[in-house]
Structure 1
Amino acid sequence: MNSIIAAAPLLLAAASEQPPQVHLNPVALLISIIVGVVVLIMLVSAAHVHPFIAIMIASMITGIGSGYGLMNTINSFLDGFGSTTKSVGILVGIGAMLGQTLMVTGATGVLVDTLVDHSSTKWLPWTMALIGSLIGLPMFFDVGLIIMVPVIIMVSKRSKLPIMMIAMPSLAGLSSMQALVPPHPGPTAALKTFSNGSMGITMGIGVLIAIPTVIICGPLFARYATRIVGRGAPDTFDMSSLENRPEGSRRPSFLLSLMCIIFPALLLLITSIATMIDPKLGTSKAMGPQILQFVGNPEVALLISLIFSALVLFKVTNFPWKKIQSEAGNSLKPIAGIVFILGAGGGFKTVLIDTGIGDMLTEFVKTSHISVLLIAWVIAAFVRIATGSSTVSAITTAGILEPVAVAMGLNPVGVTLLVLAIGAGSIVFSFVNDAGLWLVKEYFGFSLTEMFKTWTVMQTLLGVVAFIFVMLLSIVLM
């Protein structure tokens, strides 16, 4: 470990002979970002402007104020808006329809009742942390959140516990897996950057670190979060249909309800395991691998799950087919605003990336005389704060440190710890340029101030705690 600390500055200096190109004047860029973020916060919190409009205005202020140019700014924003809605919009839409289908047919209610009945009030937060981790293991955060939101809200309502006692443990489980465990995009992209990495070792150590991290940042942190937000679950979903079931309909079994909820995760997990065993399956053009890649696509996995759940629950529960379709369609109305907010957040993120803030901040920390693991965490944290994207943070940081890892001759375990340090840094300080913040805020009805005091703190705590465990393991393994 000491040799790594001693060698890191020299290796970083060699790796930085070709410094990243910063597009604009760093001072003007930094000032414009600060002004843009301040304006965004004031518009949302003080003027009560809709976040979609507020984020768009902040993006224009940041890009134009930094000297990036009028048309460059709007084009960057539109590119980011389009790419984000393309990747997230379909997931949010199908996920909302799946969630509503599970609720109106009674599947979610059966799962919630079973959890509440078999878990004491004291143990419910721990149960939700476990469920969040299991759902988050193979599933992207956005998809997992969409599936978990109805469950979180219903558990809170049925158990009469504050929403934070249920939501924070679940979100901690989802976030930890997103940051630390392949096949999630951040750790996977970082791992693929290094030639000596091992997917199996990274998954194993990632899960090992995620377990205590979730415990600390989930059920234990929820006690603090409840002091900030002590109210119960919001009325994000119309629960009236659950109380007035059509005559002749019946509730599904617990196992069927659980199967419908985890079905998307199973499809994604099967594809992930198969491609890890034989990486060629991920690029093969043969019919079998093509089918595997197809059903493992998140959008397709959710669509298949929606069709499967609607058909099976219609048959088993005798719930009217037209009623299922009507309720599923109605679920799209309240999430339209969420899609626009997410798109605007993606536009803001793209403006920040295109103006060069990530390059500017990573250049700043390259000459630090500290451990390469700490340097990885700091760079990832800076890029995450600047861009709002954990995936961009992981990819950028891994690209910067790839020559360092080669020069140090890191073995697969060393590469794993480097990837996990990057992953831990890539989730800290979820702020207004993070689409995840807006997704959680809108689903649970939190104010922006409440989000900063709970969600942002929890995400930062996750990154810090996970990094501490990475450093402790490095003493033993490196």
Structure 2
Amino acid sequence: MAATAPLLAFGIGIVSVILLLVVWDVPTFIGLIISALLVGTTNAFFLDGVAFGSIPEGVAAAFGENMAGVGIPILMAAVIGKSMTDSGAANRIVRSFQSFVSDGNADLSLWVSSSILSIPVFFDNVFYLMAPLARAMRARIGKNYALYIVVVGGGGVAMHAFVPPTPGPLAVAQELDPDRAILGTTIVVGLAVALPAALISGVLFGRFINQYIDIPLRDTMGTTVEDLEEQASKPVSNLPSFAESVLPVVVAVAFIAASTAVNTFSDTYPVLESVQPATDYVGNVNFSLTFAAVIASLTYLRMDDFPRSVWEDEITDALRNGGNIAAITAAGGAFGAMLAQAGIGELVASTLDGLGIGLLITAWLIAAIIRVAQGSVTVAMLTTGGIMAPQVPELAVHPAYLVMAIGSGAVICSWFNDSGFWIVKEIGGLTKAETLKTWTALTVVLSISSLVVLLIYSTLFPLV
């Protein structure tokens, strides 16, 4: 029975979240916690070493671990979003974008921005910073919100999944080649795969789905639709300067990028070790987003020119909304952790390993199924990387293509067990159905399109 326990736990998890969240409309946080408890209880009954009495504590521990990762960043993202929106900073940035592109191509400015920012920065942090701009763009133009969400997601996820020094592809490249000899080639191949795949999944799919779904603006992150519309109608003279408006984003990205660069190249250039403690400090997302939130909130205070007590109430309201989003996101992570505890990843790996199909396709399949089963892109990439590392000598192409195949599979089908799904839903102000039609669909398109692109490249340019 233990051999079938992972499949049983996975099935119970799927049924429970559909019933609780979709059919019965149970509040999201409660539904996810109940689903996590049900999966954990299944594990206790059918898996050795999982004590029945430890399940509630295990769910709480998984929730706490996820909250430790997303709690402060989401709370500070709420402050940044509220401040940039209500101060007019987001509107000012959007108007600057529009000066370079027409309204019909406004999505390109968001796509390029998200793509560039996601190379040194985790995608969820980029989404925290880009969501206010997408909402401001929708308020300014009056339509196309589905498109703006998709282009931000498509550009950001593609770069995050394929281009080192983002942690996923960097870790897999090191796992396949501990000497880092393939790192440079992986960066080049990653860009070559990510750009067309991001264009297909972000811009092309975004423009396609935007014809069939109209997502309205909703109150979220402490910001109302009325606030957005009021800011959209203000003259530029009543808005902060572009430099002041973009400063929170620039500071956060610069701090995180500095830490990423130093950690990536400190082994090659030992002189960087002297600054590593400082860059680790300022580049930690808890600090960098807090610092950015302070800058954004001070601009908010200056532009609205109201009493400190009112400003404090407004910021507190944003934090209150952010707390709800952080709780839902961490609950989604706990649900995914219980599925991972069931051993679904190991079952998938042992089933697919050695089937005799091409190594790139095998890696894609393993990563994709693990990702769907337990929710984490990083876990799917690292697990698959460990499985495929011994197969590197058998490759007929450069190992960088294997890194791409693993990343391509790992991004597929973000759904209820992925904390990223809840970040996009809650911060973007979407319904669950809208998130599935936009965010989940774009991750499927990204996965398939990137696989096709890398197979074409590996056939034409094997690099061996």
Q: TM-score if structure 1 supplies the norm length?
A: 0.86
The answer to whether structure 1 residue 307 and structure 2 residue 284 are counterparts is no
Matched, 1:290 2:272: no
Structure 1: which 5+ runs fail to align? 1-23
Given that 1:116 and 1:158 are in contact with CA atoms closer than 8 Å, whether structure 2 keeps it comes out as: no
Partner of 1:395: 382
CA contact (8 A) 2:9 2:339 kept: no
Q: For 1:350-374, what per-residue CA distance to the aligned partner results, in whole angstroms no more than 9, with x for missing partners?
A: 1112221110111110021122111
Aligned to 1:97: 79
Residues 400-439 of structure 1 deviation map (CA, whole Å, 9 limit, x = unaligned): 112222x4388xx822221111111111011211111112
> Take 1:37 and 1:257, find their aligned partners in 2: how far apart are those partners?
43
- Partners of 2:79 and 2:315 within 8 A in 1: yes
> Which residue identity does 2:259 align to in structure 1?
T
Are the equivalent residues in 2 in contact too, given 1:153–1:234 (CA < 8 A)?
no
Q: In the alignment, is residue 191 of structure 1 matched against residue 173 of structure 2?
A: yes
User: Structure 2: how far apart are the matches of 1:93 and 1:385?
Assistant: 28
**Matching residue's letter, 1:59:** A
Cα distance between partner residues in 1 of 2:34 and 2:369: 23
In the TM superposition, what is the alpha-carbon distance from 1:142 to its structure 2 partner?
Answer: 1.4
Q: What is the CA-CA distance between 1:310 and the residue it aligns to?
A: 4.2
Instruction: Report the Cα distance in structure 2 between the residues aligned to 1:71 and 1:428, rounded to whole angstroms.
Output: 34
Match of 1:238 in 2: 224
1:124 matches 2:106: yes
Contact preservation (8 Å) 1:271, 1:292: yes
Match of 1:9 in 2: none
User: Residues 148 and 474 (structure 1 numbering): CA distance in 2 closer, same or farther, change over 3 Å?
Assistant: same
Distance 1:282 1:418 in 2: 29
Offset at residue 196 of structure 1 (A): 4.5
CA distance in 1, matches of 2:179, 2:351: 27
Q: Aligned partners of 1:267, 1:281: CA distance in 2, in Å?
A: 19
Match 1:459 to one of 428, 443, 447: 443
Residue 469 (1) aligns with residue 456 (2): no
Secondary structure at the residue paired with 1:49?
coil
Letter in 1 for 2:27: H
- 1:275 paired to 2:263: yes
Alignment correspondent of 1:56: 33
Worse-superposed segment, 97-106 or 195-204: 195-204
Cα distance between partner residues in 1 of 2:352 and 2:256? 37
Give the structure 1 partner of residue 2 of structure 2. 25
Name the SS for the 2:239 alignment partner. Answer: coil
* Correspondence 1:361 to 2:348: yes
Which amino acid letter does the alignment assign opposite residue 461 of structure 1?
V
Equivalences for residues 60-459 of structure 1 within 5 A: 60-66=37-43, 67=45, 68=47, 69-194=51-176, 195-197=178-180, 198-236=182-220, 237-238=223-224, 240=226, 243=230, 250-279=238-267, 286=274, 288-311=275-298, 317=303, 319-320=305-306, 322=308, 324-405=311-392, 407-408=393-394, 414-459=398-443
Per the TM alignment, residue 234 of structure 1 is displaced from its structure 2 partner at its CA by 2.3
Q: Distance in 1 between matches of 2:332 and 2:106?
A: 33
Structure 1 residue identity aligned to 2:449: V
Q: Is the 8 A contact 1:260 1:309 kept in 2?
A: yes
Offset at 1:117? 4.5
Identity of aligned residues (%): 26
CA–CA distance in 1 between the matches of 2:58 and 2:286? 25
CA contact (8 A) 1:132 1:170 kept: yes
Q: Is the 8 A contact 2:255 2:279 kept in 1?
A: no
Q: Note the alpha carbon deviations across 1:209-262, whole angstroms, 9 max, x for none.
A: 21111111112111332244213322322255564899xx95321233223323
What is the distance in 2 between the residues matched to 1:110 and 1:208? 33
The CA distance in 2 between the partners of 1:295 and 1:200, in whole Å, is 26
CA distance in 2, matches of 1:446, 1:107: 23
**Displacement of 1:97:** 1.1
C-alpha spacing 1:319/1:417, structure 2 compared with 1 (3 Å): farther
User: What is the rounded CA distance, in whole Å, between the counterparts of 1:324 and 1:33 in structure 2?
Assistant: 46
User: Structure 1 residues 231, 266: closer, same or farther in 2, change over 3 A?
Assistant: same
Measured in 1, the distance between the counterparts of 2:59 and 2:152 equals 32
Write the letter of the residue equivalent to 2:151.
Answer: P
Change (3 A) 1:30 1:292: same
Letter in 2 for 1:266: A
Q: CA deviation at 1:153?
A: 0.9
Higher mean alpha-carbon deviation, 103-112 vs 164-173, is at 103-112
User: What's the secondary structure of 2:321's corresponding residue?
Assistant: helix
Aligned pair count? 448
Q: How far does residue 397 in structure 1 lie from its aligned partner after superposition? A: 0.7
Quote the offset at 1:318 in angstroms: 7.9
Please provide the CA RMSD for this pair: 2.6
Moved more, 299-308 or 376-385: 299-308
Partner of 1:34: 11
- SS of 2:103's partner is coil
Deviation at 1:190, TM superposition (A): 1.1
Change (3 A) 1:321 1:266: farther
Does the CA-based 8 Å contact 1:162-1:233 persist in structure 2? no
Q: How far did residue 41 of structure 1 move? A: 1.0
Structure 2 distance, partners of 1:370, 1:409, is 12
Deviation string for 1:380-399 (max 9, x for gaps)? 11111111000001111111
Unaligned runs of 5+ in 2: none
* One-letter identity of the residue aligned with 1:47: W
Residues 1:109 and 1:215: Cα distance change in structure 2 (over 3 Å):
same
